[in-house]
Structure formats: structure tokens, C-alpha cells
Structure 1
Amino acid sequence: METSTFPLTSFRVLYPQFNGVGDDEIDIIAQSALNYFSACKGVCTNELWMLVVAHMLTLRKMIADDESPTGVVTSVTIDKVSVSFTAPPAGSDWSHWFKMTTFGQQFLALIKRCSVPQYLGGGGERSAFRGVGGRFTRGGRLR
């Protein structure tokens, strides 16, 4: 993925609710969005990038409109103004932040789907390889 060119044309088609936002503002948000996920060579990368940008633009709009992006309102008191929020169920602060918008929730689902598992060899594989001097490590067997 070329991180210097955000797919603005695709973004405008997929997310028409942001047509009123200028190209320069989207480009700045897009460069900032790269801090929230690692660009990879996968097919999902541009989609992930656009979802993070849409998430960040939605949060910015909510804050500008004096809406609360912090969670669901659970209780309200009118006299002496008291408002309580509940956070969506999340395993981490990162997950909680993304669950504040539907675009963030889509991002979490897609990143889980598109992430590539990694394999780290264990002791069984390592015992079959020769070490320095031609000897098998661990005597060629598991301990």
C-alpha cells in the first residue's frame, strides 16, 4: 500500500455523508489515521484506512455538534444537571474508542478478519536443528 496516496475517490463513493468535508481535511485525517493501524500488503488495507478516516471524521462531527461520543446515556438528572454514561463492552481502551462509531465497529470486525496469523516455532521444531559445531541442541530430543 502506498501510504502517500489516500483512495479519496473510493472514499467519496463509499461514504457520501462526508462529501461536504474538503479534500485537504480528509488528507490530513488520513495521514493521522495511519497511526492507528499498520499498513500491510493485504487486500483489506485501503478499506481499513477508509474506515479509520470515516471513524475519525464522525467523532470530529459529533464533538463539533456537542454530542457525546463517550457511550450510551444511562441516567439523566435535570435539576443540578447530572448525566451518566456506560461504555460499550470492550476489552481495551483501543477497542472502546473504535466502538464509539459504526465505522469503528466495522474496522474492528474487518481487522480481525484480515489479520494474518503468525507462527512461532516451539521446542519440538528447534530440537531437530543442529547448533554451532554440528551438534543437535537438547541432544536431539524434547526434555
Structure 2
Amino acid sequence: MAALTFDAALFRKQIPAYADPEKYPDSEIESWWEQAACYISTENYGWLNGDSRALAINLMAAHLMALSAAGSSGAAANVAGAGGIVTGATIDKVSVTLAAPPAASDEFDYWLTLTPTGQRLLALLRGKAVGGFYVGLYPELSAFRKVGGVF
């Protein structure tokens, strides 16, 4: 199985928010795609394969791009790096109140929920992982009984 490579046309088709090639050049998107490949392997195998793996990497790249854009534009109040969502602010003596992070199963889930593309990625990963995983030589080792009904 071959490793996936960056496909700008597929990226723009799957994530229309980045469809403008002048605002988002292919080289910039590819740079973020390469970073996304550090989070999600480009090796096309396992329960996340084919179109699903390509979509997952593209969503991760878009998530990273959105977080970077929010941070550089000064709108980082709802980004994890800034500490959370601003719920109140005071001008004199500068006071900022941040909301506590929502109950998430872990920090990675919370981090993904910070952008719409991250939420799509989280839903994809959870959908593909339904039923859990097993480690063994035979599929029946994941069951309560072996094939034929014996233990």
C-alpha cells in the first residue's frame, strides 16, 4: 500500500473554505498538509484507509490552518494556545475571564473541537473506530467465543 501524497484539487473539493487559490496558494496548503501528516500517517492501511485517510489528513491540515489564522489575526480568544474562550473582559486594570474547557474525554478531543474542521475530523475518527480494536492473529480472538462456538 502506497503512502498518500498531497492533492490540492482534492483538498479544495473536500474543504471549500480554502477553495480560493489566490488567498490560499497550493504551496501554503501543502506546507500545512505536511504538518498534518505528522499527526495522521500517510500510509494507507488499517481502519482509516483510502478516501477516509485522505479526508482525515486534509481536515487536520485545515484545522491547523484555522488555528494559525485565528492566532495571527488576534482572534485567538477561542484558541487553545490563548487559554480558552473569553466570557468577560474589563477595560480598566485589564481583567479577562475565560470559560472552563468543556468536558471532553481528553485534551486532543478538546483541541479538535476548537474549529469546525477539527470537529469533522473528530467525528470521522470516532466513526471509524466504532467497535474498538483488537490485537491478535485471528478475528475471532476479538470475540467472546471462537468460530464454532467454543471458547
TM-score range, shorter chain: 0.7 to 0.9
Q: Name the aligned partner's letter for residue 134 of structure 2.
A: Y
CA shift at 1:48, angstroms? 0.6
Q: Paired residue for 2:53, among 29, 45, 55?
A: 45
Rounded Cα–Cα distance in structure 2 between residues aligned with 1:4 and 1:46: 7
Q: Larger C-alpha radius of gyration, 1 or 2?
A: 1
With structure 1 as the length reference, what TM-score do the two structures score? 0.74
Rounded Cα–Cα distance in structure 2 between residues aligned with 1:2 and 1:56: 25
Runs (4 or more) in structure 1 with deviation over 3 Å come to 1-4
Unaligned residue ranges in structure 1 (runs of 5+): 126-141
User: Is the contact made by 1:73 and 1:85 (CA closer than 8 Å) also made in structure 2?
Assistant: yes
Matched, 1:81 2:89: no
Unaligned residue ranges in structure 2 (runs of 5+): 136-140, 146-150
| RMSD between aligned residues | 2.5
Matches within 5 A, 1:54-133: 54-68=62-76, 69-70=79-80, 71-86=84-99, 87-115=101-129, 117-120=132-135, 121=141
Matches within 5 A, 1:30-41: 30-39=33-42, 40-41=44-45
Q: Paired residue for 1:26, among 25, 29, 51?
A: 29
Rounded Cα–Cα distance in structure 2 between residues aligned with 1:44 and 1:111: 9
Deviations 1:24-44 (A, max 9, x none): 111111111012224443241
Rounded Cα–Cα distance in structure 1 between residues aligned with 2:16 and 2:119: 19
Percentage of pairs with the same residue: 30
| Residue 5 of structure 1: aligned partner | 5
Count of matched residue pairs:
126
**Paired residue secondary structure (2:89):** strand
